[in-house]
Amino acid sequence: MHGRGILHGGTIMALADSAGAVAAFLNLREGAGTSTTSSNTVFLRGVAGGTVTATARPLHVGRRTIAVVVELVDDDGRPVAQVTQSQAVLT
């Protein structure tokens, strides 16, 4: 939480980056790795308590890049943020 009692945006971004990396990893060919190359976050509401849940799904799985969207919601299922990422496929 930051000084105003709201979950820090960097914490939300870190959760989204981790969820996006897992989604990308699950779609890699054997022996490949991944690294985030870009990330765009749209914050929709603050979170003063409870749990934030991240759900990531691939938008595109290619040989060199994987695009992922991550939706983050609060305990009531209300949107907190949406993140779109590009993940490089590392061989």
Distances, alpha carbon 85 to alpha carbons 11, 34, 65, 69, in Å:
16, 12, 10, 6
Give the side-chain half-sphere CA count within 13 A for 32: 21
Alpha-carbon distance values, 59 to 14, 20, 56 (Å): 20, 11, 10
Radius of gyration of the chain (CA): 14
Total domains present in the chain: 1
**What pLDDT, on a 0 to 100 scale, did the predictor assign at position 79?**
98
Q: What pLDDT does residue 4 have?
A: 84
Evaluate whether residue 33 is within a structural domain. Answer: yes
Residue 59 lies in a domain: yes
Asked whether residue 46 is domain-assigned, the answer is: yes
Task: Look at 4-8, 26-30, 56-60 and tell me which has the smallest mean pLDDT.
Answer: 4-8
2, part of any domain: no
> Given this model, what pLDDT does residue 27 score?
96
The more confidently predicted of residues 10 and 2 is 10
pTM: 0.92
**Domain assignment of residue 4, yes or no:** no
pLDDT digits (tens, 9 = 90+) for 43-75: 999 999 999 999 999 999 999 999 999 999 999
pLDDT value at position 5? Answer: 87
Assess whether pLDDT exceeds 90 at residue 2: no
Range of 61's domain?
Answer: 9-90
Q: Is residue 3 part of a domain?
A: no
Residue 1 domain flag? no
